[in-house]
């Protein structure tokens, strides 16, 4: 219901703009330039090479770079430059072949297995496991003994061998797309499997397939170079690896031989890998884009005075939030999600903060806790808790309040418990580390709290992991944790939204009882007027980041004065029930008796 980070999701596009964006990416531009040069040299090698790459000249054996052989001669008296150019063509072609085979096999198998599952799925998993249980080099060496030293065969087999890289990526994205509602919707629109794959599934795998390409080419080139370096390559096709091999055996005579192929090979694989990183940044929006705030933050609108139902007490406010502004970096400036107004929570009362999604109610709650999501910052205003200003405090200072005087109950019970630790551990850890209890004491306290929040078998819940609990139970555990320090203020962010109505009623009862017992104030963030009517003494209405109306619950409900509050009330479904269609008797009604 409430989004935690309001910053806009990165737009995913692979359209024509991608190439330009890559060029502008600092790493992408440089690596594309390097690759362009290498590819061009390779493609034009037959015309560029000044000599026949396999022609030997006895006078030029290990010759120094000179006017004739620009980069010198190798151990057989061949021109290094010419060999390097031709080797570039072969090495690149090898890398491309690996990619082509891997994409063809991996994409097809991944699409089919992901979409249909069943036998092909099992076969794919088996093949993947097979390729991962043996280093590829051993397979390639074995294949060479069968196929002979053909570079093309070796590269094709290597492509097959690393096709699981594609298979797995395609498979997972197909699986996740398959469960998307829009695929169900396509099916209920009468589309056949072929059409669904073509329209929806291929679109989804496009980005990851492109993303992996440069990495796979780099792996192919690297593997081929390594293979040829071992002397396993085809002696008739010069490659970088072969030149390195020859150079390595003559390393004591001339390091010139190793230098050039090593340089080109290294540059190419580095450029390919960096291009992959740049692609990822652009396609997935993961780029470490430093936010450059061209414009300083400023409140972009005049905040009107809120409507107060006029029963504000002067002295006994526990928490007062005034003119709060919270902003996130966005584009060249900021997106301001909380813009002002006033919120005042008295000691021991339950105060509702109500608003629709995007109203900033959750952001207000996080600001009070000092736990805004990444990027979020309190830009202006004040938060006064029990006479102390919280805005501008360090994290350590706020830590002294959190967990002892201010507590928090989240919305989504399951994701708010660490799946790797037992409930008991998560309850006792703060008691020991923050409140300084002894382990046994903390354990006793945790067990009695679990009993208090209505968990039938506290010991069992204590020893359980979060995934073994139901949502309602998990929420009770979180409430137990929140009240374990006897806080003065409990901030509950949509504490019942994720729960069924019958469970919601029980959780609200529990909160009410705990409040009576502990005398704490509760700030309850919600979008549900029923919840406010049920539990809140007073209520504050938020709209688009501004607190617009505040007052005693009864006063606000009976006489909503702000236009927005009125609109909200009007939207509550309370219309008359529809009468049965003419001719349809309700005689078919079966009550409890008819069923048993």
Partner 1 sequence: MLSFVSRRLATGVGLIATLAVLTFFFLQFGVSDVAQRIAGQQAGPDAVAVVEERIGVDRPVIVQFGDWVGSALTGDLGRSWFSGQEVTEAVMSRMAVTVSLAVGSVVLTALLGVTLGALAATRRGWSDRGVQFLAVLGQAIPGFLMALALVLVFAINLDWFPATGYTRPSESVPGWLLSITLPVIALTVGSIGGVAQQVRGSMIDAFERDYVRTLRSRGLPQRSVVFQHVLRNAAGPALTVLGLQFVILLGGAVIVETLFSIPGLGPLALNATSQGDIPVVMGIVVVTGVIVVLVNTLVDVIQAWVNPKVRLS
Partner 2 sequence: MNQPLLTVDGLEVEYPGRGFRAQPFRAVKGVSFDIRPGETVGLVGESGSGKTTIGRALLGLAPVSAGSLTFKGEDISHPTKQRRRELTRDIQVVYQDPYSSLNPSLTIGDSLTEPMIVRKTSKKEAGARVRELLDMVALPADAADRYPREFSGGQRQRVAIARALALDPTLIVCDEPVSALDLSTQARVLELFLEIQERTRVAYLFISHDLAVVREMSHRVAVLLHGEIVEWGDGDTVTSAPEHPYTQRLLLASPVPDPAAQEQRRADRLRLKEIQAEQDLQAGAA
Q: Which residues bind partner 2 (CB under 8 A)?
A: 1, 9, 11-12, 180-182, 184-192, 195, 199-200, 203-204, 356-357, 500-502, 504-505, 508, 527-534, 553-554, 557, 567-575, 577-584, 586, 588-593, 595
Cα first-last separation, the chain: 39
Nearer to partner 1, 431 or 532 (CB): 431
- Tell me if 26 contacts partner 1 by CB under 8 A: no
- Least gap, CB of 326 to partner 1 (angstroms): 15
**The tokens of 2 are what?**
């409430």
Among 119, 387, 394, 395, binds partner 1 (CB under 8 A): 395
In the list partner 2, partner 1, none, the entry touching 531 (Cβ below 5 to 8 angstroms by class) is partner 2
In the list partner 1, partner 2, none, the entry touching 186 (Cβ below 5 to 8 angstroms by class) is partner 2
- Least gap, CB of 495 to partner 1 (angstroms): 12
- Least gap, CB of 369 to partner 1 (angstroms): 6
Report how many residues bind partner 1 under the rule CB under 8 A.
78
- Least gap, CB of 141 to partner 1 (angstroms): 4
**Cβ-proximal residues to 356 (8 Å cutoff; 6+ apart), any chain:** 527, 543, 568
**537-541, long-range: CB < 8 A, 24+ apart:** 537/349, 537/350, 537/351, 538/346, 538/349, 538/350, 538/351, 538/352, 539/351, 539/352, 539/353, 539/354, 540/341, 540/343, 540/351, 540/352, 540/353, 540/354, 541/354, 541/355, 541/565, 541/568
What part of residues 438-497 is at the interface with partner 1 (CB under 8 A)? 465, 467-468, 478, 481-482, 485
In the list partner 1, partner 2, none, the entry touching 404 (Cβ below 5 to 8 angstroms by class) is partner 1
Cβ(541)–Cβ(509) under 8 Å? Answer: no
- Tell me if 106 contacts partner 1 by CB under 8 A: no
C-alpha of 404 from chain center: 32
Residue 379 phi/psi, 5-degree rounding, is: -95, -30
In the list partner 2, partner 1, none, the entry touching 557 (Cβ below 5 to 8 angstroms by class) is partner 2
Nearer to partner 1, 217 or 324 (CB): 217
Cβ(283)–Cβ(10) under 8 Å? Answer: no
- Least gap, CB of 126 to partner 2 (angstroms): 18
Cα separation, 370 vs 326, whole angstroms: 11
Q: Is 200 helix (H, G, I), strand (E, B) or coil?
A: helix
**The tokens of 563 are what?**
């236009």
Among 119, 146, 570, 592, binds partner 1 (CB under 8 A): 146
What residues form DSSP beta bridges with 521? 489
Eight-state DSSP code of residue 569: H
Nearer to partner 1, 26 or 46 (CB): 26
Nearer to partner 1, 345 or 546 (CB): 345
Residue 225 phi/psi, 5-degree rounding, is: -60, -45
What part of residues 330-369 is at the interface with partner 1 (CB under 8 A)? 366, 369
Q: Is 506 helix (H, G, I), strand (E, B) or coil?
A: helix
- Least gap, CB of 530 to partner 2 (angstroms): 3
Q: At what angle do helices 202-229 and 240-249 cross, to 10 degrees?
A: 30
Among 1, 33, 130, 572, binds partner 1 (CB under 8 A): 130
- Tell me if 95 contacts partner 1 by CB under 8 A: no
Among 29, 65, 77, 226, binds partner 1 (CB under 8 A): 226
In the list partner 1, partner 2, none, the entry touching 270 (Cβ below 5 to 8 angstroms by class) is partner 1
What residues form DSSP beta bridges with 491? 408, 523
- Least gap, CB of 321 to partner 1 (angstroms): 17
Cβ(2)–Cβ(494) under 8 Å? Answer: yes
Which listed range, 87-95, 324-332, 336-344, 401-409, lies at the site for partner 1 (CB under 8 A)? 401-409
Among 239, 269, 336, 526, binds partner 1 (CB under 8 A): 269
**Alpha helices (H) along 501-577:** 501-518, 529-535, 553-558, 563-571
Among 62, 120, 147, 191, binds partner 1 (CB under 8 A): 147
- CA-to-CA separations, 93 to 135, 244, 419, 550, in angstroms, rounded: 23, 18, 48, 71
What part of residues 238-267 is at the interface with partner 1 (CB under 8 A)? 244, 248, 251, 255, 258, 262, 265-266
- Least gap, CB of 180 to partner 2 (angstroms): 5
Cα separation, 199 vs 208, whole angstroms: 17
- Least gap, CB of 210 to partner 1 (angstroms): 18
């Amino acid at each position: 219901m409430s989004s935690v980070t309001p910053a806009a999701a990165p737009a995913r596009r692979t359209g024509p703009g991608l190439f330009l964006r890559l060029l502008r990416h600092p790493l992408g531009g440089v690596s594309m330039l390097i690759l362009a040069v290498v590819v061009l040299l390779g493609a034009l090698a037959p015309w560029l090479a000044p000599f026949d790459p396999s022609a030997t000249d006895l006078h030029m054996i290990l010759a120094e770079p000179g006017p004739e052989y620009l980069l010198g001669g190798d151990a057989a008296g061949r021109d290094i430059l010419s060999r390097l150019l031709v080797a570039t063509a072969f090495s690149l072609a090898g890398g491309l072949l690996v990619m082509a085979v891997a994409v063809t096999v991996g994409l097809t198998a991944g699409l089919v297995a992901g979409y249909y599952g069943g036998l092909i799925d099992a076969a794919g998993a088996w093949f993947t496991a097979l390729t991962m249980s043996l280093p590829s080099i051993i397979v390639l060496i074995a294949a060479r003994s069968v196929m002979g030293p053909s570079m093309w065969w070796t590269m094709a087999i290597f492509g097959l061998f690393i096709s699981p890289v594609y298979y797995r990526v395609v498979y997972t994205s197909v699986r996740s797309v398959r469960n998307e509602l829009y695929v169900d919707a396509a099916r209920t629109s009468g589309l056949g499997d072929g059409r669904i794959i073509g329209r929806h599934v291929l679109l989804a795998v496009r980005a990851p397939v492109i993303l992996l390409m440069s990495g796979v080419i780099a792996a192919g080139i690297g593997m081929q170079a390594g293979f040829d370096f071992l002397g396993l390559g085809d002696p008739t096709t010069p490659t970088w690896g072969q030149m390195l091999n020859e150079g390595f055996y003559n390393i004591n005579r001339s390091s010139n031989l190793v230098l050039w192929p090593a340089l080109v090979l290294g540059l190419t694989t580095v450029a390919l890998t960096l291009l992959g990183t740049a692609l990822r940044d652009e396609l997935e929006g993961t780029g470490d884009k430093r936010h450059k705030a061209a414009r300083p933050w400023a409140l972009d609108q005049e905040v009107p005075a809120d409507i107060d139902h006029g029963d504000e007490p002067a002295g006994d406010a526990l928490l007062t939030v005034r003119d709060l502004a919270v902003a996130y970096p966005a584009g060249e400036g900021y997106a301001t999600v909380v813009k002002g107004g006033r919120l005042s929570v008295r000691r021991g009362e339950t105060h509702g903060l109500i608003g629709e999604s995007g109203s900033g109610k959750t952001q207000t709650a996080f600001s009070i806790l000092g736990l805004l999501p990444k990027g979020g910052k309190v830009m202006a205003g004040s938060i006064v808790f029990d006479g102390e200003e919280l805005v501008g405090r360090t994290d350590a200072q706020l830590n002294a309040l959190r967990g002892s005087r201010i507590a928090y109950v989240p919305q989504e019970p399951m994701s708010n418990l660490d799946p790797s630790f037992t409930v008991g551990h998560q309850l006792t850890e703060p008691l020991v580390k923050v409140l300084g209890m002894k382990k046994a004491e903390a354990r006793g306290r945790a067990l009695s709290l679990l009993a208090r929040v209505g968990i039938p078998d506290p010991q069992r819940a204590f020893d359980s992991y979060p995934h073994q609990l139901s949502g309602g139970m998990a929420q009770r555990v979180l409430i137990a944790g929140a009240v374990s320090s006897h806080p003065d203020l409990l901030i509950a962010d949509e504490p019942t939204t994720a729960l069924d109505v019958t469970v919601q009623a029980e959780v609200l009862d529990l909160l009410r009882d705990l409040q009576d017992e502990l005398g704490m104030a509760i700030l309850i963030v919600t979008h549900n007027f029923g919840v406010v009517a049920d539990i809140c003494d007073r209520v504050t209405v938020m709209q688009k980041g501004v607190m617009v109306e505040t007052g005693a619950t009864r006063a606000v409900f009976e006489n909503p004065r702000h236009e927005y509050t009125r609109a909200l009330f009007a939207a509550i479904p309370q219309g008359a029930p529809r009468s049965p269609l003419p001719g349809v008797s309700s005689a078919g009604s079966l009550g409890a008796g008819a069923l048993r």
